Amino acid sequence: MRYADEFREGVIAQGLARAIAAEASSERRYRFMEFCGGHTHVISRHGLEDMLPTTVRMIHGPGCPVCVLPTSRIDMAISLVDRPDVILCVYGDLMRAPGSQGRSLSRAKAMGADIRMVYSTLDAIQIAERAPDREVVFFAIGFETTTPPTAVMIRHAEKKQLRNFSVFCNHVLTPSAMQSILGSPDVDNVGSVEIDGLVGPGHVSIIIGTKAYEFVDGFGKPVVITGFEPLDMMQAILMLVRQVNEGRSEVENQYSRAVTREGNLRAQQEISDMFEVRDLFEWRGLGFIPHSGLKLKQGYAQFDAEMRFALHEQRVAHNPACECGAILRGVKRPADCKLFGCVCTPETPIGSCMVSSEGACSAHWSYGRFRDHSRRQAP
Amino acid sequence: MRAKSYQSKLDVRNGFVELRHGSGGRAMSQLVYSLFHEAFGNDWLARGNDQSAFGVQTGRMVMTTDSYVVSPRFFPGGNIGFLAVNGTINDVVAMAGARPLYLSASFIIEEGYRLSDLKTIAGSMGEAARTAGVNIITGDTKVVERGKADGLFISTTGIGVLPDGLDLSVDNARIGDRVLVSGSLGDDGITIMSKRQNLPFQSGLVSDTAPLHDLVAVMVTAGGSGIRVMRDPTRGGLAATLNEIANQSGLGFRLREEIIPVKPTVAAACELLGLDPLHVANEGKLVAIVAPETADAVLAAMKAHALGCDAADIGCAVEDDHQFVQMLTRFGGERIVEWLSGDQLPRIC
Ligand code: SF4
């Protein structure tokens, strides 16, 4: 149990911090992006930035599934629940994600839409079984980690011959987004900051394996895959510093207690049996990224809510003052955004980075904004 | 209590609340007398008025009100009835340092609610009130149609009297004051959430609903006017309580994470549910802001009391124009302890 020996953990963390400080050269900068929102959360929640030397800077990446969901997809879901026969099953975080014109699922629910917050995919199946005269739609989002459970759910529905059940599929692919950030960092003309290394996601990598990142090699960037304990993160940062110092750019696996090179082959098979890659998928803050989203294959069309209800994506303009795109590339910081903390807060998010606690702006608001006006005092 | 003659006895074991039980007629009278008066048993209710008269003391009195809509209504360590009495008593005493005297209780019941559950809950309220030495002296019952309420809602109002010279208020904290908590945080919220979502954390965790007036009394004896603010960190947890005090008193707080008492089970459950234990609701716990020179004496008094044996001094009030509640993490970094945003939590009080 992680709380078994907190004191010892603290001592080890201090040791890792000293090692990072000793090995990071004062002559150069180390800019590392942690892709995954879970990692952003760990860094902010435990104040790990305070333990790094000034030359090491963490850039919070786009790896929070709610955050990267574009306005148009939220709008599609809202149009779905306008139909009185539809029950939409969602994970709680999605409720506040901003659609266009100040709309959200949370507001739609308050106005009478039948939206149920679920804790697992199984809940959605049960709801469909109990309400055979309603159309039950599961709002599926997430990276490779949550795709297999969606596949399992559809298999269940198939076996039970549920005719009133479908999935609004918004699953996205991690490697494509990484490639986009590293390879064409200039989308939306925000400029780019050189990224010196990537902290690779833990849970996603359990499914897709370290092999999936080996392309990053071509960009000459080190990648270290790591877990979700603060100590994992400190260790990963130390490994990245060492790779940079030694001029290496390898895919290293700090999280070998869970992640293999091949990943979970059965889960990969299940995904490729049921889903196919979309040509383009929009990411909030990053724009349209080729081959970065999944949809159900033709053979599963009856479970595809987009087909079933003829949903169409309407392009909508995002708030031009929102700097998410620049923040996700490390060009700007949350405090540089004019809306940060006045119009845009976790209660009233305007952009993607403020939506869930894993987003860069939300993490900075909830945990780190004291650094914008810091004056340290002993507790 | 005077004997009432009804055509048939209320079938508490098998019966359900029906609309007629709230319609002002004989059925309602029967419900009120044989269920509530029986459970709360005191001379005021026995006189059968719609209101009760009581003597007024000199000095200052306090009054507070709260509604309880918790779901589920029964959970390890208590039920909504205990909460409705203890919660309001704690608001009276914990927020003001007052001695609680009287309560009112108002019930909104959904048609079809089990009489046996209602009786158990009323019994718990009577028991909690007797333990705290207060009387429930007036009340109200409404029955609403099925679907118009979720089972049972209870509102209670409490009145108490303040000791001379004590002025506890949320805007009283001063720079340098210490922050004391009376015990481990998050037990109540996690117990109820685990019950709701059928999570396997119940083992050993029980809700900590308890009246705090006795603990407060020993603290007041030890610290006197050195105690500036007392709050019970219910909804929104310690984070909400300290942010509110920081805002009202115009200062900031610095806490040390490693000293804040959180049970391993609660920490593990929070990890799984993606919650921060400092956002989780508590019952039967209090936070006190105490002048530095009396903090040690107050802490010692708390530790000597059964409800404060895990008490801890977790930080202090500092000058801060931004009124941040800031925390040194157990890894040596710093972060803000922010209000909970949104509503990920089920109703728990
Ligand atoms: S603060 Fe809000 S509006 Fe500004 S970049 Fe962040 S999410 Fe966008």
State whether residue A8 sits within 8 Å of chain B by CB.
no
Is the Cβ–Cβ distance between B59 and B102 less than 8 Å? no
A161 has pLDDT over 80:
yes
In degrees and rounded to multiples of 5, residue B336 shows phi and psi of -85, 145
CA distances to A56, A197, B100, B162, B224 from B61, in Å: 58, 64, 9, 6, 18
A143 has pLDDT over 60:
yes
In the prediction, which pLDDT does A6 show?
Answer: 56
Give the 3-state secondary structure of residue B259. Answer: helix
Beta bridge partners of A34: A60, A199
A7 has pLDDT over 70:
no
Radius of gyration of chain A (CA): 21
Task: Grade residue A197 by pLDDT with cuts at 50, 70 and 90.
Answer: very high
Give the 3-state secondary structure of residue B209. Answer: coil
Q: Is A328 in the pocket of ligand 1 (CB under 6 A)?
A: no
Distance CA A151, CA A26 (A): 49
- Give me the mean pLDDT over the A135-164 stretch: 94
Ligand 1 atom closest to Cα of A349?
2
- Give me the mean pLDDT over the A302-323 stretch: 89
Poorest-pLDDT segment among A74-88, A172-186, B17-31, B281-295: A172-186
Task: Transcribe A273-326 into DSSP letters.
Answer: HHEEE-SEEEETTTEEEET-BEEE-GGGGGGBHHHHTT------PPPTT--HHH
A319 has pLDDT over 90:
no
Distance CA B245, CA A55 (A): 37
The ranges assigned to domains in chain A are 1-333, 334-377
Is the Cβ–Cβ distance between A75 and A100 less than 8 Å? yes
Residues of B in contact with A92 (CB under 8 A): 344
Measured in Å, residue A120 CA sits from the centre of ligand 1 at 30
In the prediction, which pLDDT does A245 show?
Answer: 96
Distance CA B131, CA A206 (A): 54
Question: What stretch of H or E contains A56?
Answer: strand A56-63
In the prediction, which pLDDT does A379 show?
Answer: 58
B257 contacts: CB under 8 Å, gap ≥ 6: B327, B328, B329, B330
Long-range pairs for B43-52: beta carbons < 8 A, 24 or more residues apart: B44/B135, B44/B137, B44/B138, B45/B136, B45/B137, B45/B138, B45/B139, B46/B1, B46/B2, B48/B2, B49/B138, B50/B138, B51/B138, B52/B102, B52/B137, B52/B138
Distance CA B276, CA B297 (A): 30
Cis peptide before A148 (omega within 30 of 0): no
In the prediction, which pLDDT does A4 show?
Answer: 43
Q: Where in chain B is the domain with CATH 3.30.1330.10?
A: 19-161
- Regarding predicted confidence, which is higher, A287 or A330? A287
A205 has pLDDT over 60:
yes
Q: Which residue of A has its CA nearest to B254?
A: A379
pLDDT along chain B (349 residues), means of 10: 60 88 86 91 89 86 93 88 93 82 96 95 96 94 93 96 86 97 92 72 67 89 93 92 96 96 89 85 93 97 96 97 94 90 53
Distance CA B273, CA A58 (A): 26
Measured in Å, residue A311 CA sits from the centre of ligand 1 at 28
User: Going by CA atoms, what residue is nearest to atom 7 of ligand 1?
Assistant: A351
Q: What is the CATH number of domain B170-336?
A: 3.90.650.10
Give the 3-state secondary structure of residue A111. Answer: coil
Measured in Å, residue B343 CA sits from the centre of ligand 1 at 21
In the prediction, which pLDDT does B204 show?
Answer: 65
Side-chain-facing half-sphere of B105: CA atoms under 13 Å = 32
Ligand 1 atom closest to Cα of A326?
5
State whether residue A345 sits within 8 Å of chain B by CB.
yes
In the prediction, which pLDDT does B346 show?
Answer: 46
Q: Which CATH architecture has domain A1-333?
A: 3-Layer(aba) Sandwich (3.40)
In degrees and rounded to multiples of 5, residue A276 shows phi and psi of -130, 160
Give the 3-state secondary structure of residue B90. Answer: helix
| Domain B19-161 CATH superfamily | PurM-like, N-terminal domain (3.30.1330.10)
Ligand 1 atom closest to Cα of A354?
7
Instruction: Supply the mean pLDDT for chain A.
Output: 88
Q: Where in chain B is the domain with CATH 3.90.650.10?
A: 170-336
Amino acid at A51: M
Radius of gyration of chain B (CA): 21
Measured in Å, residue A41 CA sits from the centre of ligand 1 at 17
- The pTM of this model reads 0.81
Q: Do B341 and A1 touch (CB under 8 A)?
A: no
- Give me the mean pLDDT over the A205-226 stretch: 83
Residues of A in contact with B344 (CB under 8 A): 92-93
How far, rounded to the nearest angstrom, does the alpha carbon of residue B67 sit from its chain's CA centroid?
Answer: 10
State whether residue B200 sits within 8 Å of chain A by CB.
no
Measured in Å, residue A216 CA sits from the centre of ligand 1 at 28
State whether residue A119 sits within 8 Å of chain B by CB.
yes
Minimal Cβ distance to B332: which of A1, A10, A373: A10
In the prediction, which pLDDT does B349 show?
Answer: 43
In the prediction, which pLDDT does A217 show?
Answer: 55
Q: Which residue of B has its CA nearest to A92?
A: B344
Minimal Cβ distance to B316: which of A4, A230, A379: A379
ipTM of this predicted structure? 0.75
B58 contacts: CB under 8 Å, gap ≥ 6: none
In the prediction, which pLDDT does B2 show?
Answer: 47
Q: Is A359 in the pocket of ligand 1 (CB under 6 A)?
A: no
DSSP state of B37: I
Distance CA B314, CA B256 (A): 6
Write out residues 231-250 of A within 8 Å (CB-CB) of B: none
State whether residue B316 sits within 8 Å of chain A by CB.
yes
Q: How many CB atoms lie within 10 A of CB A111?
A: 10
| A319, A331, A337: residue to mutate for ligand 1 pocket, most atoms within 8 A of CB | A337
